[in-house]
Amino acid sequence: MYSETILDHFQNPRNAGTLDAATATISVENPVCGDILELSARMEAGRIAEARFRTRGCVTAMACSSLLTELLRGKTPAEARAITSEQVSEALGGLPPATFHAAQLARDAVQALLAKLN
């Protein structure tokens, strides 16, 4: 059911944990399934220098969170704003409809983070 990329991000999450000296930290929740994503980022010279996550949720929520931190690194807020749920899903090999909510949670986290950075 899961792509190799999803399983890799789930089993070997990138940038998991808390971020010391974060510029902003947000938490978003999917009220339907209960997944929670806490996302922290540190800005340097107008770009996201580092991003870390802590997620409680399903396999795809963990994978989407891990991938999201990689997508955010090095981006300006304007570039980060362009990250879509579909882009997250495609980068993980395509999420089935039943788990697409995890990509939407990642997108919600980007929006909340950018709102806090402004």
What is the domain class of 4-117 according to CATH? alpha beta
How many helices (H) and strands (E) would you count in the chain? 5, 3
pLDDT band at 56 (very low <50, low <70, confident <90, very high): very high
Question: Per-residue pLDDT averaged across 28-43, rounded?
Answer: 94
Phi, psi of 38 (to 5 degrees): -105, 125
What tens digit of pLDDT does each residue of 8-23 get? 999 999 999 999 999 9
- C-beta of residue 41 within 8 angstroms of C-beta of residue 117: yes
Please give the mean pLDDT across all residues of the chain.
Answer: 95
> Rounded CA gap, 10 and 58, in Å?
9
Domain ranges, ordered by start, for the chain: 4-117
**What is the 8-class DSSP label of residue 16?**
B
| pLDDT higher than threshold 90 for residue 1 | no
Question: Per-residue pLDDT averaged across 70-92, rounded?
Answer: 97
| pLDDT higher than threshold 90 for residue 33 | no
| pLDDT higher than threshold 80 for residue 118 | no
